[in-house]
Each structure stands twice: as C-alpha cells, then as structure tokens.
Structure 1
C-alpha cells in the first residue's frame, strides 16, 4: 500500500463523514501531539483521531491501572511495569505527529475539512520536550522492569555493595 492509496482512503473517509450530515471536524497536529504525550498511556489521542480500536487501548490500560492499584506495592508489580508499553507508545506517537509534515497530516486526518494545518514552532517544541522527558521515563521503566525481574528470580540475593 503506497501513500496515494492511504490518502485516497482517507479522502473517502472524509467524504463519507461529510455526507452523513455535519461538517467534517478539523483536527490539529499540535493537539494530537500533546494528547499523545500527556494521555498516551490511556489512548487519549486515539479518541481524538477517532481510531477504530481506541476503546480497546483504553480498556487494557485501565485494567492495568486497576490491577496495579490493587497491589500493596503498586510500583513493583507486573501490571504497573506493563503500563510502560502504552506510555512509550504515546511518546513515540507524539514524536511522529509532531514531526509529520502538515500536508501529510491533513491528507490522512483532515480530508474534506476545508482547512489547512499551518503549524509553526509548537510541534517542534513538543517534540523536543517529549524527547527529553520521554527518554528519561522510558529508561526509568526499563530499569524498574530489570530490577523487578532480577529480584523475582533471586539473582540479587546476598548482593551487597
């Protein structure tokens, strides 16, 4: 599937939405990037973009949050550690949306809206911030997972610094 197939499909979706009654909403690239960075763990940007399986993404994240909260030590159990996967996905998608050219973003997410996205420095600043914060959070999550595995397997028993 090439980019013309994708943009043709997106245009067809926009035309279908326009024929169903109301105006086609214009989605902002900066809003998607910020939502992905802040609410990516529960799929907030998926709902904003009206992706098909947004409910499943949110449901899985909410189940993991509930399971982590029910544990006496919520930060040291597998459900909490698994939450780093959707969190990382949110950071990565925030970078992708921030750095995607406006024309490609409009062709995919704003067909038939009648407006063009004209971003300036906002998405670039979001990308810089997400790179700094996201990399620290992802490295922290990896180190927590490794420590959890090492302790659970007994590899650190008797280890003294």
Structure 2
C-alpha cells in the first residue's frame, strides 16, 4: 500500500518534464488533475500525423511543439526552483526535505541545449511547411 503523502523528487519531476513532457508525464507524477488531457492531446496528434504522407511535415505533428515547449519550460522551472519552495508546494506533509545538489543544475543545462535544438528545428520545419503550402517557395532553386 503506497504511503498517503509520498515524497516527490524534484529531480525526477524535472527529468520527466524534459524527456516526456510532451505527454505530460510530470503532471502524472505530481498527481495533477487533468493530466490526462495533455496525454490525450499528444497521442491524438501523433495518430493524426500518421494519416499524412509525411508524418513529420503536417499540422498535427507541428502542434506537438506546444506540449514539447511546455515540457522543456516546466523542466527548467522545476530544476531551478529552490528545494524549500518545491517541498512547500509538492511535499507539504511528507516529513522529508529535498536536498538535490548539482543534479538539477546539470539537468537545466542539458534541457536548455536539448530544447534549443528541438524547438528551433520544429520552428524551422513549421516555417518551411507554411511557405511550401502557400506556394512562396515555388520556383526557388537552392
């Protein structure tokens, strides 16, 4: 039987947000209500993206940039939030205190690098998709 007031790890929440934030995994871990909405949205967009000839270049796949960006943002917020503030909000009655050290700082650096690559790439794909769909690149020789 799980404890009534589990102690939640700030580092685990930040890792979940960074790597699985597109599905709202950090919301499930924290026990937030309506976590299923993020998961359902992402799964629906992935299923809809499969209906297009190019699964990576279509509106449903590009809509995944919203939860991806939100996940990276939450990962940075959780990683850089002071331990006492995290405990006050997410571990009020666990009886333990969070002592994280350098792990969240390294995670924040990793998240910044990964989010820079993923979000910039996603924006680039979105711009090319819009330009191609509107015919602005017709006749352009690169």
TM-score range, shorter chain: over 0.9
Partner of 2:116: 135
Secondary structure in structure 2 of the residue aligned to 1:137:
helix
Q: Does 1:101 align with 2:82?
A: yes
Partner of 2:39: 58
Q: Does 1:148 align with 2:140?
A: no
Find the aligned partners of 1:82 and 1:23 in 2 and give their Cα distance. Answer: 37
Kindly report the root-mean-square deviation, in angstroms, between the aligned alpha carbons of the 2 structures: 1.1
Runs of 4+ in 1 over 3 A off after TM superposition: none
Label 1:113 to 1:140 Cα distance change in 2 as closer, same or farther (>3 A).
same
Number of positions where the alignment pairs a residue of Structure 1 with one of Structure 2: 141
Aligned partner of 2:73 among 92, 110, 118: 92
Show structure 2 runs of 5+ residues with no match: none
Q: What TM-score comes out, normalization by structure 1 length? A: 0.85
Q: What TM-score comes out, normalization by structure 2 length? A: 0.96
Find the aligned partners of 2:72 and 2:5 in 1 and give their Cα distance. Answer: 27
Partner of 1:23: 4
Show structure 1 runs of 5+ residues with no match: 1-20
Secondary structure in structure 2 of the residue aligned to 1:70:
coil
Q: Deviations over 1:50-83 (max 9, x none)?
A: 1111011111111001111222210110000111
